[in-house]
Amino acid sequence: MNTRVAPVLPRFVIGNAAPGFAELRAGNLGVRLAVTAAELDAVQALRYRVFYGEMGARADLATMASKRDRDQFDAIADHLLVVDHDLGESAENVVGTYRLIRQSAAARLGRFYSADEYDISILEKFDGQLLELGRSCTAAAYRSRAVLQLLWRGIAAYVFHYGIDLMFGCASLHGTDPDALAAELTYLFTHHLAPAPIRPRALEHRYVNMNRCALDRFDARRILARLPPLVKGYLRLGGFVGDGAVIDQQFNTTDIAVVVQTDLVTEKYYRHYEREARSE
């Protein structure tokens, strides 16, 4: 369990709820939590454009009419935003988002989102605070390492504040043919399978075997390079994957469960904030 005391963050002080989550700036970009209904609407509009407009997700009639990606979990989640101030100061400046669901919030609905795909009971027994990550996306012009790092800085500060010990969620590979993703799935299963005490397993009726091919036919570096930036980000932080993939026909993806103990996250960003404090 993570017992590190959170450092003083001179330019990123988080309050007890979303309205107190002040913004961290990096040039024209900032990262903070959504605090208004308009900002949540902008998040849902961005998710619709990316998931349905670009990635081929299948919209039902209500989603198509609203042009919003929304579900019941949005109401109990915190929504991390990347905003571009060069686009003005209205909610239209939202260019990136990550959905954060704490254990106490999930309890209000009686479950986490990931429970629709994975048996996460082993994670719910973990001795520490849980945070579910999901629904991450950025506008096409902002898909850079700098923006992803900004999102992770926001997540790290959130983790510090709430004393999160374990993060998890579903990450996605594009497409619904696991054989077309055989090298990627096998690589993740072979090299990054979570230890048994924190290993979620795909629900039996949705379970897709990830160990699909002989990796000696592939260059591991090339496989790693083909993984989505978000998945590579989890792996760089020492993340693991669960047992079994899940096909999500609605979102046109093959999902994997990802688990990250926060020690590496907090240590990396603790050093970052220490450097910032010394430079002031």
User: Can you give 157-219 as a three-state secondary structure string?
Assistant: HHHHHHCEEEEEEEEEEECCCCCCCHHHHHHHHHHHECCHHHCCEECHHHCECCCCCCHHHCC
CATH superfamily of 18-279: Gcn5-related N-acetyltransferase (GNAT) (3.40.630.30)
Residue with tokens 């704490």: 102
Break the chain into its structural domains and give their ranges: 18-279
Residue at 254: amino acid letter = T
Percent of the chain with pLDDT over 70: 86
Please give the model's pTM, rounded to 2 decimal places: 0.87
Give the distance from CA 79 to its chain's centroid: 11
Q: Is 188 exposed, middle or buried (0-12, 13-18, 19+ CB in 10 A)?
A: buried
CA distance 31 to 168: 21
**Residue ranges for the chain with pLDDT beneath 50:** 1-20, 274, 276-277, 279-280
Report CA Rg, the chain. Answer: 18
- Model confidence over 177-209: pLDDT tens digits? 999 999 999 999 999 999 999 999 999 999 999
Q: Enumerate residues 6+ apart whose C-beta is below 8 A from 274.
A: 7
Q: Is 135 left (phi over 0), alpha (psi -120 to 50) or beta?
A: left
- Model confidence over 47-74: pLDDT tens digits? 999 999 999 999 999 999 999 999 999 9
